[in-house]
A and B are shown apart, each in its own frame.
Chain A
Amino acid sequence: MKRTFGEKLFDGLNVTILLLLSACILIPLLHVLAGSLSSSYALTHSMVKIWPVELNFKNYEMVLQNPLFWNSLKITVIVVLIGTTINLALTSVSAYPLSKPDLRGRKIIMLFILFTMIFNAPIIPTYLVVKSLGMMNTIWSLIIPTGISAFNLILCITFFRNLPSELFDSAKVDGLSEYGMVWRIAVPLSMPIMVTLLLFYAVGHWNNYYMPLLYVTDMDLRTLQLYLYSLIAQNNTNDAMAGSGGMDLVNISPQGLQMATVVTATIPIAIVYPFLQRHFIKGALLGSVKG
């Protein structure tokens, strides 16, 4: 089909707009990466744009020598690993019975869950519950209160419901218990949704700074996001200098150090992102069908 002048103009403009938008997203990332790799003189004299000036790795050496950084990373990794495992186990085990259309009482339980999506539990009473359970200043305060997300549970129920019921019937004839059905049939056949939930839950745990802010005051239990909060938002660069004894501090500026820490904290996400992209689009679409 022949394109009119108007269409060509629109296509050109459209491509330009989308390219500009991508640039707006990439430039801040490149600027921080460039800053973290530049000399402190170049950085503090506004010479760095999106390319490193006087390339060096001093900032990274400093970040990687900092025990506080490593400790917060360790706490975060523990929370992500334990938290996501509990999330996936609870979500799949709860979704299985609720995916049975003839389960008695199913409607009431679904309403009970949906209600919590409309009426959020308020901050203060939730905080008091966590406090009275004695979870303050433990990693459990970051894990247990997010045990199941109602939204993810519904995704999982929808997916399980579409599995052929003959499979479950024949497994029952072969003597498999209902508990066995979850681990031997439902979960293995639902890998796309399991990967999606894994991603959603894990990213949620990794990025959360709100719950550590509420429940953690112990410095040793600081997560990476809380460490970043204190380093950047509160401009507390003393922590970032910890463990620098004997290091040559020329070429290190607070800004460079902050940039290097931000980049280091972004790397895990940047590494898994391309691999998981396929899955999360599927997951987001699953959500939109029922959402």
Chain B
Amino acid sequence: MATPHVTLKAGKFRRESFTRYVSRNHPLYVMLIPCILFFIVFKYVPIMGSIIAFQDYKIFEGILKSEWVGFKWFEQLFSYPQFTRLIGNTLLISFYQLIFSFPAPIILAVLLNEIRSSGFKRTIQTIVYLPHFLSWTIIFGFVYMLLSPQTGMINGLIADMGFEKIHFLQNNEYIRSIIVGSGVWKEMGWSSIIFLAAIAGINPSLYEAARIDGASRWKQFLHVTFPGVLAAVVILLLLKIGHLLDLGFEQIYIFLTPANFSVADVLDTYTYRIGIKNGQYSLTTAIGFFKSIIGFSLLVVANRMSKWLTGEGLY
């Protein structure tokens, strides 16, 4: 019911000016001040601060007075033999994670979905979600104690069977498998939640139709469940690829000893050791800069590939 009063004014109606809107709703903007300040100080200032990768940063001179050195640190980085090792370790561990840590929760979700007894399903879920809430120091404790040659259960069993005990954590052959394996142990259950949700979101009538057409459970999985979770799988895979060089500092650093630097030292842990401990701020910021560029490029490439192959993408 439009009154004549409104119709008359309609021709002249304009959105109120931005300043007027803000002053009328100022409490809403006041509430956003801490949030915006937080993101500026702890996210944007550090991102801008990456320019020290192009400086010879001296802590007492600050960003404004430190000398500009162009690509010196990057050149130094790429000519380091150590850098090849770091990139190698990072890529290798990341590749293992992609092969083992990524599919594990998908398989778990599919297996859990096929369980008919809801009580059994819930019990298993309660158990597999638990490790997500334990810290890496505690998980390292479990790994260390399970594998210890003096007290560990695994070595106890090995000795009981009459074999020689193995110093797992001191042995460079095992350390990468232990890092990747403990990651699977910790996060597999928790990561499966998202895939379980994707499966739960599949329209039940699709299964019914498949059953009427005589599809076996395997066929139902192949033609209903699998396509149903594919979108979630692709999106998460893209995100994982974008973070290919971020392995999780906490996970790796705790397993690192001077003896296994050659196989387990990665970009993040090196940055901490050399940057924070030895004060090589500019050099290690160059590593961070390099990582961001690679990560972003990978994300763009992977997104394009995925759109081309499956039609799914992040943006």
Instruction: Provide the B37-51 mask, 1 if CB < 8 A to any CB of A, else 0.
Output: 011011111111110
Of B83-91, B93-101, B147-155, which stretch is located at the interface? Answer: B147-155
Residue of B nearest to A34 (CB): B153
Closest-by-CB residue of B relative to A42 is B151
Q: How far is the CB of B288 from chain A (nearest CB, A)?
A: 3
Interface membership of B254, Cβ < 8 A: yes
- Partner of A124 from B194, B246, B271 at Cβ < 8 Å: B271
Pair A233/B137 contact, Cβ less than 8 Å: yes
- Report if A228-B42 is in contact (Cβ < 8 Å); known contacts: A18-B112, A182-B31: no
User: Does A122 contact B151, Cβ atoms closer than 8 Å?
Assistant: no
Among B22, B35, B124, B131, the residue within 8 A (CB) of A90 is B35
Is A188 in the interface zone, CB < 8 Å from B? no
Residue A285 contacts which of B143, B153, B197, B218 (CB distance < 8 angstroms)? B197
Interfacial chain B residues near A31, Cβ < 8 Å: 142, 145-146, 153
Segment 69-120 of A: residues with Cβ below 8 Å from B: 90, 93-94, 96-98, 100, 103-105, 109, 112-113, 116, 118-120
Q: B residues 257-306 with Cβ under 8 Å of A?
A: 268, 271-272, 275-276, 281, 284-285, 288-289, 291-292, 296, 299
Q: Which residues from chain B sit less than 8 Å from chain A, CB to CB?
A: 18, 21-22, 25, 27-29, 31-32, 34-36, 38-39, 41-50, 52, 59, 108, 111-112, 114-116, 120, 123-124, 126-131, 133-138, 140-146, 148, 150-153, 155-157, 159, 185, 189-190, 193-194, 197-198, 216-218, 232, 242, 246, 249-250, 253-254, 268, 271-272, 275-276, 281, 284-285, 288-289, 291-292, 296, 299
Chain A interface (Cβ within 8 Å of chain B)?
4, 6-7, 10-11, 14-15, 17-19, 21-22, 24-29, 31-32, 35, 43-44, 46-50, 90, 93-94, 96-98, 100, 103-105, 109, 112-113, 116, 118-129, 133, 144-145, 147-148, 150, 153, 177-179, 182, 203, 206-210, 213-214, 225, 228-229, 232-233, 253, 255, 258-259, 262, 265-266, 269, 273-274, 277, 280-281, 284-285, 287-288, 291
Given contacts A121-B47, A203-B133, A206-B135, 18 further A-B contacts (CB under 8 A): A22-B123, A24-B185, A26-B127, A46-B152, A90-B38, A96-B31, A97-B31, A122-B47, A122-B49, A123-B272, A124-B271, A125-B49, A125-B288, A129-B42, A129-B45, A178-B25, A209-B254, A269-B133
